[in-house]
Structure 1
């Protein structure tokens, strides 16, 4: 396709404007479905766009800003590998486009495409902070005050920043405490969840809100993996994940599994204490997952990992009398919940297939007692 398009542009049977419009439309759809284009890199069209971007940037006379934005969007949406030179042009260009403060529909669409395009710069690429940090921070904070972005734009702004967040780097304080990622992610999940009619799974599966939910789950997973700073806003996020699980549980098992996985990671990384997991319904949620689980999905393993971790955690005694009293109280409450839900019977019923589960995930234990929380 790219070779033919380039030839048609060269022969003037296809205008550059039409080619750009088509590529942006295709790129938008592929970006939502997280589909990569492995053939654009080696195409002559890629080389043409790269040269045009560099030439446009180097112009000393009046530049065509709209053309440069369009070229950068097409390039990022279809490219797999990026040079530092192209990133140094495309990143500031598209952030500038997204920074426009107008709040009409055209401006919102332009910001959405610019931010969505930037998501294609995966976290393996180190982008110098001077190219993006002030701008992406301003975009996020302006939306928090004015709500000038679409749901997809706002998620895309966060995803670009989260993709720049690597272990041991300085963005954690800004992400967690200054820009309030946990609170914002919780709010967005709650709003998006209300937009979906979960009972109409087949019809709703293609809704953009469902795709955006998936993208937020990715962002949350990345933060759970790398963050060490946790605050009371994390509690709200745990609650939002639980509510999403319960809305989707009878209709959309893939999202249920995504939620179960995040609750498992929250427990393993100890992002909140056990009392919060109890209070916000995470324990009940995972117990429900065990009751409804079957061997043809990943929820079973995520639930087992959750209880494997929480059982180990609650066995850790402390010399602090107050903390030790809380630990024992939590053990008692969870043990009672397990008994009420028939959890122990479910675990025992898995005895015959534990070896099968272990072959697929050798981080699980073959000893069923490791999954119990005994008083």
Structure 2
């Protein structure tokens, strides 16, 4: 990747900059042996220590490295304690302390880099500076490949701002709504960019129930997510292993997994019953069926939205049964390789369904339907001894709940 610095001095032109050396070495890491990688990383750390502040601004193109890591699902738990991470933190603190003339572009660049490496907890002041900057980039309508990449990275950065950050709607609501509506009309964003826009918005929904009508009825999340999932399901090559995929194929799979994750957050927060939700759950079931033989990671993702939808009553129990969600979870819970989180999701699904089937309906016709659904469910679970299978997991479920209480929230 070529690195450009608009502020180059004559001295910089005389030879390759430290940042260019760093970038070149990073690009070579993938093709090195483990011992060679360690040696290069040590040398790269040395280069970081030599860099002056101007060079550091150039190396903020590390956000592109972060972008590549996101595409490959690479986790970077040690970034905060690295020399570069510590330097970013120091510069951020210095800029935020300034009474005036803050370098907002520098802050946004550093913030983008931190987001892509999942580093640090941003202050409310930093969020108020960076979110409008990122949205300004994301609002660009040019369709050149370079501009699309800029928009994609800006939206990907925004999507990394987790659901636990409460953000004033004035910072984002008008702009993110415009981005989504423009995409629905023109379809000019990449799949990853569009998913990222929705993920940022759905995360805001977690803390702000007032967004429900906008997300569900005005922008039709359920319909849009179902449409994207259906298309991605057709495009993903389910027979290829991860290491065999091309860059574009891997990107399609990542977008699909992130859509499923976003659906889980939506169902965790949503309270409105909507026919679009039924179609969305059917698409998630189709993904499970397509992925079950070769894509374990995607299957694990699929259990989240099914659990959350059953808990928040966004569809009727008979929709879960007729849409094959019940069959899907029954098959999943019998897998010998089931991990603890999948056990939690599957058992949670059945506990939610069981509670709902025990509740009497005030409406006479609804009560008749409930009893018929309950009878059908019991027959299905007794057919092949599913009740014994589920009971055998309760010990693992209790152990998981005690040890990992913080992990039960997606």
Moved more, 331-340 or 312-321: 331-340
Q: How does 1:89-238 map to 2 (within 5 A)?
A: 89-167=129-207, 169-203=209-243, 207-238=250-281
TM-score normalised to the size of structure 2? 0.74
**Aligned equivalent of 1:256:** 299
Which consecutive unaligned segments of at least 5 residues does structure 1 have? 363-375
Q: In angstroms, what is the RMSD of aligned CA positions?
A: 3.3
- Kindly indicate whether the alpha-carbon contact (under 8 Å) linking 2:261 and 2:305 is maintained by their aligned counterparts in 1: no
- Kindly indicate whether the alpha-carbon contact (under 8 Å) linking 2:288 and 2:299 is maintained by their aligned counterparts in 1: yes
Structure 1 residue 313: deviation in Å?
1.8
TM-score normalised to the size of structure 1? 0.81
Of 357, 360, 372, the residue aligned with 1:317 is 360
Q: How does 1:1-375 map to 2 (within 5 A)?
A: 4=46, 7-10=49-52, 14=55, 16-17=57-58, 19-21=59-61, 23-32=62-71, 33=73, 35=76, 37-39=79-81, 43-48=86-91, 58=101, 70=109, 73-74=112-113, 76-78=115-117, 79-167=119-207, 169-203=209-243, 207-290=250-333, 292-294=334-336, 296-298=338-340, 299-340=342-383, 342=384, 345-348=385-388, 354-361=394-401
Structure 1 residue 361: deviation in Å?
4.2
Structure 1 residue 305: deviation in Å?
3.0
Provide the C-alpha distance between the structure 2 equivalents of 1:143 and 1:245, rounded to a whole number of angstroms.
27
Which consecutive unaligned segments of at least 5 residues does structure 2 have? 1-40, 403-410
Structure 1 residue 240: deviation in Å?
0.7
The DSSP-based 3-state class of the residue aligned with 2:289 is helix
Provide the C-alpha distance between the structure 1 equivalents of 2:196 and 2:392, rounded to a whole number of angstroms.
45
Structure 1 residue 146: deviation in Å?
0.7
- Kindly indicate whether the alpha-carbon contact (under 8 Å) linking 2:166 and 2:207 is maintained by their aligned counterparts in 1: no
Q: 1:71 to 1:178 in 2, by over 3 A?
A: same
Q: 1:42 to 1:204 in 2, by over 3 A?
A: closer
Q: 1:35 to 1:213 in 2, by over 3 A?
A: farther
Provide the C-alpha distance between the structure 1 equivalents of 2:307 and 2:104, rounded to a whole number of angstroms.
50
Provide the C-alpha distance between the structure 2 equivalents of 1:236 and 1:94, rounded to a whole number of angstroms.
32
Provide the C-alpha distance between the structure 1 equivalents of 2:357 and 2:88, rounded to a whole number of angstroms.
59
- Kindly indicate whether the alpha-carbon contact (under 8 Å) linking 1:46 and 1:75 is maintained by their aligned counterparts in 2: no
- Kindly indicate whether the alpha-carbon contact (under 8 Å) linking 1:9 and 1:16 is maintained by their aligned counterparts in 2: no
Moved more, 132-141 or 29-38: 29-38
Structure 1 residue 247: deviation in Å?
0.5
Moved more, 241-250 or 345-354: 345-354
Q: Deviations over 1:96-152 (max 9, x none)?
A: 111011112111101011111223332333322222111111111111111111111
Provide the C-alpha distance between the structure 1 equivalents of 2:308 and 2:104, rounded to a whole number of angstroms.
47
Q: 1:120 to 1:53 in 2, by over 3 A?
A: farther
- Kindly indicate whether the alpha-carbon contact (under 8 Å) linking 2:273 and 2:315 is maintained by their aligned counterparts in 1: yes
Provide the C-alpha distance between the structure 1 equivalents of 2:392 and 2:134, rounded to a whole number of angstroms.
56
- Kindly indicate whether the alpha-carbon contact (under 8 Å) linking 1:183 and 1:237 is maintained by their aligned counterparts in 2: yes
Structure 1 residue 242: deviation in Å?
0.6
Provide the C-alpha distance between the structure 2 equivalents of 1:76 and 1:300, rounded to a whole number of angstroms.
31
Provide the C-alpha distance between the structure 1 equivalents of 2:169 and 2:389, rounded to a whole number of angstroms.
53
Q: 1:91 to 1:352 in 2, by over 3 A?
A: closer
Provide the C-alpha distance between the structure 2 equivalents of 1:270 and 1:333, rounded to a whole number of angstroms.
19
- Kindly indicate whether the alpha-carbon contact (under 8 Å) linking 1:314 and 1:331 is maintained by their aligned counterparts in 2: yes
Provide the C-alpha distance between the structure 1 equivalents of 2:400 and 2:124, rounded to a whole number of angstroms.
40
